[in-house]
Amino acid sequence: MRDTSDVTRRLWSLCAVLRDEGVTYHEYLNELTYLLFLKLAAELEMEDRLPAECRWAALREQNEDTVAEFYSALLERLGNSEDSTVAIIYDEAETRLTSGAALRQLIEGIDEIDWYRARQNGLGDVYEGLIEKNAQESRYGTGQYFTPRAVVDALVKALNPTSSDTVYDPAAGTAGFLVAAGLHTSGNGENQPQLHGVELVHDVRRMALMNLLLHGLDGEIDLGDSLSRDPSKFQVSVCLTNPPFGVKGALSATQSKHMDFPTSNKQLGFFQHIYKSLAKGGRAAVVVPDNVLFEGGWRHQLGLTCWTITVCTLF
C-alpha cells in the first residue's frame, strides 16, 4: 500500500508541470489519464489494443521538437480506435500541452516510476488515489464524482453483491461503487457481477472506464442523464450510488414523465429512479442528505424498508 501511495504522490507532483502550462485543476486528471493509459497498457501487457505507432515506446522516442505534434495526432487516432473502450477513453481528447519540453518532462517523470513495485500493489489503486487527490485538493469534483472509499466499502459490504447480481449506479462518477462491488465479489472468490453505470459528464465517464479497466473489471458506463431514462426497462438486483446533492429546480418534461410522485428535488427524483429500477427483491444503498427519505412521508409512499437512512430493500 505504501508503494501505491508513493506512486500516487509522485504522479500528482507532475501536476506542477501542467500548472506551469496553464492547465487547470479540473483538467489535471484528463491530461494524466491520456498519458497513463499508454504507460499502463505497456505495464499490463494490453498494448495489443493499440496500434504500434500509438504505444508508449513510440511516444517516448519523440524529441522535444516532434513530441507535441506526434502526441496530438496520437490522441486523435486513438479517439477513432476500433477498440470501443479505447475509443471512449480518448473520445474528443485534446491536450492543453503545447510545449514539447513540458510534454517530455511528463513522459520522463512517468517513466522514472518503479512500475514493477506499483504493479504488485495494484495499478487500479494508483489511479483511484489520483482521483481522491484531485478531489481533496480542488473544489472541482469534491462530492461531485468522488465518494470517500470508506463510505463506498461500508455500503458495498452492507449489500454484499454476488456474481449473480447486476450492480447499477445511475450517477456513476468515476465508478467507485462499481469498482468496489467488483472487487468485493472477487475477494469472495466469485466472478464479478454485471456492472452498469450512467454518467452525465463526458470527462468523468472517461475516468470511470479507466478506473474499471485498471482494476481488471468489465463494465458499461453510458453517457447521459439517468432521470431521462425509463427505469422500468432496466431492472437490477443491486443499486449503489451517491446522487448529486443540493440540486433543486423543476425537472424537465422528459424526467418528470418517469416519476410517480412530482418533485422539484432531484435527489428525490433520483430516489424514485432507483426505486423503479430495482427488480423484485432488489436492494439499494444510497448516499442522501439527512432526513431526505422522511420529507413529506416519502419512505411510506415508496414502500421502503430502511435499515439506515441510506440502505433499503424493495418488498
Residue 220: in which H helix or E strand, if any? strand 220-223
Q: Is the pLDDT of residue 232 over 90?
A: no
User: d(Cα 207, Cα 191) in Å, to the nearest integer?
Assistant: 23
- Return the closest-CA partner of residue 265 out of 239, 285, 245, 294: 245
Position 247 scores a pLDDT of 52
Q: Is the pLDDT of residue 307 over 50?
A: no
pLDDT tens profile 256-280: 888 888 777 788 888 899 989 999 9
pLDDT (mean) for 205-222: 92
More confident residue, 144 or 99: 99
Position 311 scores a pLDDT of 47
Position 233 scores a pLDDT of 86
Q: Is the pLDDT of residue 52 over 80?
A: yes
Q: Is the pLDDT of residue 84 over 50?
A: yes
Q: Is the pLDDT of residue 1 over 70?
A: no
Position 147 scores a pLDDT of 83
User: d(Cα 90, Cα 82) in Å, to the nearest integer?
Assistant: 12
pLDDT (mean) for 202-208: 91
Instruction: Scan for cell 462530492, then name that residue.
Output: 143
User: Under DSSP, is residue 238 helix (H, G, I), strand (E, B) or coil?
Assistant: strand
pLDDT band of residue 310 (cuts 50, 70, 90) is very low
pLDDT tens profile 218-229: 999 999 999 999
Q: What percent of the chain has pLDDT over 90?
A: 51
Q: Is the pLDDT of residue 3 over 70?
A: no
Q: Is the pLDDT of residue 306 over 50?
A: no
pLDDT (mean) for 89-114: 93
pLDDT band of residue 56 (cuts 50, 70, 90) is very high
pLDDT band of residue 285 (cuts 50, 70, 90) is very high
Answer whether 50's CB lies under 8 Å from 86's CB: yes
Give me the amino acid identity at 28.
Answer: Y
